[in-house]
């Protein structure tokens, strides 16, 4: 099995001023596992992802135990605000993300093959010269996903990438992520589509300021627990 | 480097004698200002693309205006009137760092904060000028505000060259990281970019290239040469490669044309003004191309 990471979160709490966003979160994800995070809007899912990425000041402990050496982390943000008039095409954007060589000199030779293959898998190769501003919401999500796959990540964190993705796109995403899982990578996937979560997740955690429930989808995604998500107010 | 500049100036004089160049090129100050233009153009054109991509046009405007205060402080402290570089660089860099620090820490909207800093810097500069110009001819300051080709010396070219090498080196090394930090800091951090450090390096770089270009382009107009060529290139390009190349070409053409045309046609306007008018003509042409393409 390839490199992956076991993640353990203990008593994670975080506040923005007087607003307590996360409260005593305890969470575990294993290498070779797809762990979906669900919950109502404003429940702290994105903040939780950013805490895992080391981008927040928080209380509590987050431990990463890599199976081999420290691996590559991929991240797919929810949205990206690129000035509509900026001449950044798909290849430029990926080059900006993945390499040190200035993106205006083109994609680095050592990444070229993987960039082509990844765009092909995501059905975006024929749009590689399109400006980012000319892409639909779903196509932008595919490009954001593509950059996270280069080089191959051992930990992939996705923040609701499926918001604007159509059904065929969702299937492509799931297929690629399943491939990563087979290679031993750890996938933390913030998701809003409960039906999809039941199909793809090995584990699911519901976060609404704190962990409401966590476990295997079959055992925890029952009517009683799901009602808890949708009957509660944001952050309650 | 003085030896090299002498060779260039002598070669130009020989070409003038041979009838290959206009008469005005026999003057050392003309060649000096053209050498400055050939350094300023590529430097501002290249870094301008990152300024535009990071939406920092207004920020660089504030830095340009802060140069006036730096000059006044330098003159008051007894630095040479034609090159008060210690105060000029020190003030512009401190101003850039303090402005960036306030922007990051206050959470205020950028344009409001920059507007305050820009106005304050101009006000302080204007007030200090009253003291600074007691013993000097105030018209010397016109050159600093709107640019002048008369005062560029060997040491000015050396300074510009050093800043250009630093800026272009840092720009090439940190281009992707700087742009990514602006587009999505979270994504940049995941890719191992120390976003805050790059943020500060970039504003210091803007301060350095702005101040180094003040003599030729002028403190009021230098920001325009950072922005307009990049904005013109953005109008007609569909990739980062052509964006950077065209921005460099447009800035260089503007800088050289802005110096040569007023001199050859004996138009009494400052070099900074002429350079920016050339850049604006290019911008309008590219805008027309964009409009035609869209329709």
A129 touches chain B (CB under 8 A): yes
Are A88 and A127 spatial neighbours (Cβ–Cβ below 8 Å)? no
Closest CA–CA distance from residue B107 to any residue of chain A (Å):
13
- Assess whether the previous peptide bond of B161 is cis (omega < 30° from 0): no
Q: Is residue B118 part of a domain?
A: yes
Is A97 close to B172, i.e. CB distance below 8 A? Answer: no
> Over pLDDT 90: what percentage of chain B?
48
Q: Is residue B146 part of a domain?
A: yes
What's the length of chain B? Answer: 295
Checking B177-182 for CB contacts under 8 A at 24+ apart, the result is B177/A100, B178/B50, B178/B54, B178/B202, B179/A96, B179/A103, B179/B50, B179/B53, B179/B54, B180/A96, B180/A97, B181/B54, B182/B53, B182/B54, B182/B55, B182/B56
- For the segment B108-116, the average pLDDT, to the nearest whole number, is 87
How many structural domains does chain B have? Answer: 1
Place of tokens 């976060």: A207
Q: Which two tokens stand for residue B202?
A: 């970039």
Q: Is residue B47 part of a domain?
A: yes
Bridge partner residues of A7 (DSSP): A29, A64
A1 touches chain B (CB under 8 A): no
Chain A CB contacts of B52 under 8 Å are 86
Q: How far is CA B201 from CA A100, B85, B97, B183, B197, in A?
A: 17, 20, 9, 17, 6
A37, containing H or E segment: strand A34-38
Alpha helix ranges (H) inside chain B: 2-17, 28-53, 57-76, 85-106, 110-132, 140-146, 154-183, 185-190, 195-217, 222-236, 240-264, 271-294
Which among A158, A147, A218, A145 is positioned nearest to A186, based on CA atoms?
Answer: A158
A207, containing H or E segment: strand A203-208
Residues 6 or more apart whose CB falls under 8 angstroms from that of B286 comprise: B232, B233, B235, B236
Q: B55-103, pLDDT tens digit by residue?
A: 888 888 888 888 888 988 988 888 888 788 899 999 999 999 999 999 8
- Give B162's Cβ-side CA count (13 Å radius): 10
A233 touches chain B (CB under 8 A): no
What's the length of chain A? Answer: 236
> Over pLDDT 70: what percentage of chain B?
98
Pairing state between β A34-38 and A5-16: unpaired
Pairing state between β A34-38 and A203-208: parallel
Which among B117, B178, B208 is positioned nearest to A103, based on CA atoms?
Answer: B178
Q: Is residue B153 part of a domain?
A: yes
Closest CA–CA distance from residue A96 to any residue of chain B (Å):
5
Alpha helix ranges (H) inside chain A: 45-52, 90-98, 109-121, 137-148, 167-182, 194-200, 217-220, 223-231
Are A211 and A41 spatial neighbours (Cβ–Cβ below 8 Å)? no
Which among B140, B164, B142 is positioned nearest to B35, based on CA atoms?
Answer: B164
Q: Quick one: closest CA in B to A131, which residue?
A: B238
The rounded distance, in Å, linking the Cα atoms of A123 and A142 is: 9
The predicted pLDDT at position A164 comes to 73
Q: Is residue B200 part of a domain?
A: yes
Give the single-character DSSP code of A41: T
Identify the three-state secondary structure at position B82. Answer: coil
Give the single-character DSSP code of A209: S
Taken in order B191, B183, B114, B258, is the CA torsion positive or negative? positive
When CB atoms are compared, the residue of B55, B184, B240 closest to A88 is: B240
The rounded distance, in Å, linking the Cα atoms of A221 and A20 is: 26
pLDDT band, very low/low/confident/very high, at B237 (cuts 50, 70, 90): very high
Whether residue A11 has pLDDT greater than 90: yes
Whether residue B12 has pLDDT greater than 70: yes
Is A96 close to B180, i.e. CB distance below 8 A? Answer: yes
When CB atoms are compared, the residue of A99, A106, A147 closest to B241 is: A106
The range of the structural domain enclosing residue B204 comes to 2-7+27-218
Bridge partner residues of B9 (DSSP): none
Whether residue B228 has pLDDT greater than 70: yes
The predicted pLDDT at position A233 comes to 52
Whether residue A211 has pLDDT greater than 80: yes
Whether residue B264 has pLDDT greater than 60: yes
Q: Which two tokens stand for residue B283?
A: 């911008």
Is A86 close to B186, i.e. CB distance below 8 A? Answer: no
The predicted pLDDT at position A182 comes to 92
Q: Is residue B117 part of a domain?
A: yes
* pTM for the full predicted model: 0.87
Q: φ and ψ at A207, to 5 degrees?
A: -115, 125
Whether residue A224 has pLDDT greater than 80: yes
Is A54 close to B189, i.e. CB distance below 8 A? Answer: yes
The predicted pLDDT at position A72 comes to 92
Identify the three-state secondary structure at position B125. Answer: helix
- For the segment B117-142, the average pLDDT, to the nearest whole number, is 79
The predicted pLDDT at position B193 comes to 93
Whether residue A105 has pLDDT greater than 90: yes
The predicted pLDDT at position B101 comes to 92
ipTM of the complex: 0.85
Q: B153-181, pLDDT tens digit by residue?
A: 888 899 999 999 999 999 999 999 999 99
Q: Quick one: closest CA in B to A83, which residue?
A: B53
Place of tokens 């013109």: B232
The rounded distance, in Å, linking the Cα atoms of B193 and B176 is: 10
Chain B CB contacts of A91 under 8 Å are 239
Whether residue A74 has pLDDT greater than 80: yes
The predicted pLDDT at position B251 comes to 95
The predicted pLDDT at position A232 comes to 59
Which among A93, A109, A128 is positioned nearest to B180, based on CA atoms?
Answer: A93
- For the segment A120-149, the average pLDDT, to the nearest whole number, is 92
CATH code of the domain in which B142 resides? 1.10.3470.10
| Domain architecture of chain A: domains with CATH | 1-72+153-236 (3.40.50.300), 81-151 (no CATH)
- For the segment B231-249, the average pLDDT, to the nearest whole number, is 96
- For the segment A144-157, the average pLDDT, to the nearest whole number, is 94
Q: Is residue B81 part of a domain?
A: yes
DSSP string of B248-278, one letter each residue: HHHHHHHHHHHHHHHHHTT----HHHHHHHH
Q: Is residue B88 part of a domain?
A: yes
Chain A CB contacts of B180 under 8 Å are 96-97
Cα Dmax for chain A: 55
């Amino acid at each position: 099995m390839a490199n992956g990471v076991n993640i353990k979160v203990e008593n994670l709490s975080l506040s923005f001023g007087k607003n307590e966003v996360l409260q005593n979160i305890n969470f575990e994800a294993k290498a070779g596992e797809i762990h979906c995070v669900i919950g109502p809007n404003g429940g702290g899912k994105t903040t939780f992802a950013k805490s895992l990425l080391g981008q927040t000041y928080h209380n509590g402990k987050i431990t990463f135990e890599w199976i081999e050496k420290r691996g590559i982390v991929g991240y797919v943000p929810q949205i990206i605000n690129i000035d509509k008039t900026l001449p950044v095409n798909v290849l430029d954007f990926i080059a900006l993300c993945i390499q040190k060589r200035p993106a205006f000199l083109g994609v680095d030779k050592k990444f070229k093959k993987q960039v082509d293959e990844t765009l092909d898998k995501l059905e975006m190769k024929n749009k590689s010269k399109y400006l980012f501003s000319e892409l639909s919401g779903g196509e932008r999500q595919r490009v954001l996903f593509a950059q996270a796959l280069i080089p191959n990540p051992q930990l992939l964190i996705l923040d609701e990438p499926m918001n604007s993705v159509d059904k065929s796109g969702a299937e492509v995403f799931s297929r690629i992520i399943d491939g990563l899982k087979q290679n031993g990578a750890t996938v933390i996937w913030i998701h809003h589509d409960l039906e999809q979560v039941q199909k793809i997740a090995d584990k699911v955690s519901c976060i609404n300021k704190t962990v409401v429930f966590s476990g295997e989808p079959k055992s925890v995604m029952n009517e009683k627990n799901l009602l808890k998500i949708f009957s509660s107010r944001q952050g309650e | 480097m003085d030896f090299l500049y002498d060779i260039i100036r002598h070669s130009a004089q020989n070409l003038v004698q041979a009838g290959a160049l206009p008469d005005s090129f026999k003057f050392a100050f003309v060649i000096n200002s053209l050498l400055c233009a050939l350094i300023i153009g590529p430097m501002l054109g290249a870094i301008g693309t990152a300024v535009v991509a990071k939406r920092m046009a207004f920020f660089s405007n504030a830095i340009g205006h802060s140069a006036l205060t730096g000059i006044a402080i330098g003159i008051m402290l007894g630095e040479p009137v034609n090159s008060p570089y210690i105060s000029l660089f020190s003030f512009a860099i401190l101003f850039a760092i303090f402005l960036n620090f306030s922007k990051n820490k206050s959470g205020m909207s950028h344009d409001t904060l920059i507007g305050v800093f820009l106005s304050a810097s101009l006000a302080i500069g204007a007030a200090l000028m009253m003291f600074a110009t007691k013993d000097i001819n105030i018209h010397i300051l016109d050159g600093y505000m709107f640019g002048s080709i008369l005062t560029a010396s060997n040491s000015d070219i050396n300074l510009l060259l050093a800043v250009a090498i630093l800026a272009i080196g840092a720009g090439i090394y940190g281009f992707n990281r700087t742009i990514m930090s602006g587009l999505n800091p979270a994504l940049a951090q995941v890719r191992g970019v120390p976003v805050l450090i790059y943020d500060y390096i970039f504003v210091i770089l803007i301060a350095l290239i702005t101040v180094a270009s003040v003599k030729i382009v002028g403190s009021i107009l230098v920001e325009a040469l950072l922005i307009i060529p990049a904005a013109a290139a953005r109008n007609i390009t569909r990739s980062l490669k052509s964006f950077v190349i065209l921005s460099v070409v447009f800035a260089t053409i503007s800088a050289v044309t802005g110096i040569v045309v007023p001199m050859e046609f004996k138009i009494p306007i400052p070099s900074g003004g002429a350079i920016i008018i050339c850049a604006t003509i290019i911008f309008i042409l590219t805008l027309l191309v964009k409009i035609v393409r869209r329709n």
